[in-house]
Amino acid sequence: NAGVTQTPKFRVLKTGQSMTLLCAQDMNHEYMYWYRQDPGMGLRLIHYSVGEGTTAKGEVPDGYNVSRLKKQNFLLGLESAAPSQTSVYFCAIGAGLRNEQYFGPGTRLTVT
Amino acid sequence: AQSVSQHNHHVILSEAASLELGCNYSYGGTVNLFWYVQYPGQHLQLLLKYFSGDPLVKGIKGFEAEFIKSKFSFNLRKPSVQWSDTAEYFCAVSDTGRRALTFGSGTRLQVQP
């Protein structure tokens, strides 16, 4: 998985609670992404970053915030979790001239 | 906005059968095309990619895909599947601007021994 780690691996939240998911890379890639995976919907882009200090919205950004204070880390935050955010979250890095994406192991989040 | 369609949602095959999974995309510009595989409980792994040149690309584990520009298609093929190919397969396209991936909804492949 190209040196991409995600913490935590699993988490259960109650509605309204907050949490932060961490994605870390052990290389020097500029591009990093957060996707969510839901059954029958493939993966959908939440937010992405093209370098340290930059972030941008993807297709489904509502309810999430991100930060990229250090190049190696890309954080995804849920300020007030909702059951609709129950999903598996994958982080990815973009590598090479054509930005091939390599994924982390995922975080399974359940919001009750 | 670009989109990707995978028309086969669930495919069941016997071992040694041939496989073809359909992928169609809609995007007017230059695209990069990918197939990813996700084995049960695991993360996505890159199976193969097309950027330019020969429209028939070969990937890992005996998979190949053919890019047909006129049909906006990038179908995945394997001549003879194995039980270990049981997984979910995702087609994806990335645009040259944002460089993020747009995924199809996935095809679940079940190979029976």
Structure-token pair, residue B111: 């190979």
Q: Residue B36 pLDDT > 70, yes or no?
A: yes
One-letter amino acid for residue B37 of the chain: V
Structure-token pair, residue B99: 């460089």
Closest residue by Cα to residue A42 from B95, B77, B89: B89
pLDDT at A41: 87
Is residue A71 very low, low, confident or very high in pLDDT (cuts 50, 70, 90)? Answer: very high
pLDDT at A64: 98
Cα–Cα distance, B57 to B49 (Å, whole number): 7
A85-97 pLDDT, tens digit per residue, is 999 999 999 987 7
Is residue B45 very low, low, confident or very high in pLDDT (cuts 50, 70, 90)? Answer: very high
Q: Residue B98 pLDDT > 70, yes or no?
A: no
Q: Are the Cβ atoms of A43 and B90 closer than 8 angstroms?
A: yes
Min distance A96 CA to chain B CA atoms (Å):
11
- A23: DSSP letter: E
pLDDT at A1: 56
A26-63 pLDDT, tens digit per residue, is 988 999 999 999 988 889 999 999 999 999 999 999 99
Nearest CB among B42, B99, B103 relative to A99 is that of B99
Contacts of A56 in chain B (CB under 8 A): 98
Nearest CB among A43, A98, A100 relative to B103 is that of A43
Mutate: best of B30, B98, B107, partner A, most A CBs <10 A: B98
pLDDT at A98: 79
A1-32 pLDDT, tens digit per residue, is 568 999 999 999 999 999 999 999 998 899 99
The more confidently predicted of residues B3 and B89 is B89
Q: Residue B37 pLDDT > 60, yes or no?
A: yes
Closest residue by Cα to residue B89 from B58, B54, B48: B48
A99, with CB counted inside 10 A (0-12, 13-18, 19+), is buried
- CB distance from B90 to chain A under 8 Å? yes
Closest residue by Cα to residue A66 from A57, A75, A56: A75
Which residues are bridge partners to A98 per DSSP? none
- Which residues lie below 8 Å from residue A90, measured CB to CB, with a gap of 6+? A6, A34, A35, A36, A37, A43, A103, A104, A106, A107, B43, B44
Nearest CB among A31, A35, A103 relative to B99 is that of A31
pLDDT at B10: 96
Query: To the nearest 10°, the Cα dihedral for B47, B50, B55, B61?
Result: -10
Cα–Cα distance, A54 to B17 (Å, whole number): 48
Mutate: best of A10, A35, A101, A107, partner B, most B CBs <10 A: A101
